[in-house]
Copies of this chain bind each other. A is one copy, B any other.
Amino acid sequence: MSRIAIDVMGGDNAPYEIIKGCVEASKNISSTLVLVGNEQIISEQLKGATYNKDKIEIIHAEEVITMEDAPVQAIRQKKQSSMVIGLKLLKDKQVDGFISAGSSGALLTGATLIVGRIRGVDRPALAPIIPTKTGYSLLIDSGANADVKPGYLVQFARMGSVYMKCCMGVEKPKVGLINIGVEEEKGNQLTKEAFKLLSEDTQIAFSGNIEARDIPSGKVDVLVCDGFVGNVVLKFMEGFGGWILSMLKAEFMRNFKTKFAALLLKKGIYTIKDKFSYSTKGGAPFLGVKGLVVKTHGSSKAQEIYSTIFQTEGFIREGLIEKLESNLSENIN
């Protein structure tokens, strides 16, 4: 039976919403949930809750890493923080996965320093799933590496391909390089060099450049880019999508006639809304770390923690880390 550790103290809504998500998940999950955080707070909240006692364990953590802490310093100095303790549990194979809604920078640093990298990977990358017209694509990297070398993008492409095959059932994942034109010679220095390397790589199915306007098309399964560009895409999708939905809401609330229209459309609008909430609220693994570290949105509430726990159980069941280890060992540059 697998064990999943959760950083109860990380994120905007910690610890209350994080614990609540664990409580709900405990009722339906087969894994054991290891709640890492202030024992007193956790026990207090659990007292008033209905949960499956066989599925929840508590490990006390004295400290908390905040959004303001400098990542490297925080990981090195706050040894008793919920994040460091959780990552150590993962390193020592006391748990099979670790979830945190805390500082992305600290989590990446901790994952790299404490858990370590898979052989063949220079930089772990954050890889969320984003919605497309035909289903979902993986966006790698979406923020772990602001400055990258062309070779890293090949590693991202390989890791993304393993993920899509192993966890999303895509037999031969198509890889696209996010670029400002489809022709080979288009782009900046990074994408021009990466295009060559990706074209020559035999481990992936590279289908060339993809312009940002085609990201939603679903033409490719793995969208490769540096962490700066990926972060811009992910966050803009969140902000822009949210804005359009809020404009729609305002139109629906305008008067009696439009409110009636909203009622008639309700189900359809929820379908669209759901499609997008997946993108911004689900968890994303740091691919390339020698252990399963899953980052959830800093603003995650119980519902997102609940989803991320089941998502993480899926990653463990599919053996994502083992498959990445066996596929990434070959050297690239």
Contacts and interface: CB of A to CB of B under 8 A. Distances in A.
A133 B264 contact: no
Interface string A200-243: 00000000000111111100000000111101111111111111
A229 B234 CA distance: 13
Contact of A240 (B147, B237, B248): B237
Given A247-B272, A251-B272, A232 B261 contact: no
A41 interface: no
A265 interface: yes
Interface residues of A, number: 52
A243 B216 contact: yes
A232 B180 contact: yes
B187 A212 contact: no
A213 B235 CA distance: 5
A49 interface: no
Interface stretch (A11-19, A53-61, A252-260): A252-260
Number of this chain's copies in the complex: 2
B233 A236 contact: yes
A208 B215 CA distance: 29
Given A178-B232, A232-B233, A265-B251, A213 B238 contact: yes
Contacts of A236: 212-213, 215, 233, 236-237
B258 A233 contact: no
B180 A143 contact: yes
A242 B236 CA distance: 15
5 contacts: A180-B227, A180-B232, A211-B235, A236-B237, A244-B244
State the 9 A-B residue pairs at the shortest beta-carbon distance, nearest first: A251-B268, A213-B239, A146-B188, A261-B264, A212-B236, A212-B235, A261-B261, A213-B235, A180-B231
Interface of A: 133, 143, 146-147, 178, 180, 187-189, 191, 211-217, 226-229, 231-244, 247-248, 251-252, 254, 257-258, 260-262, 264-265, 268-269, 271-272, 275
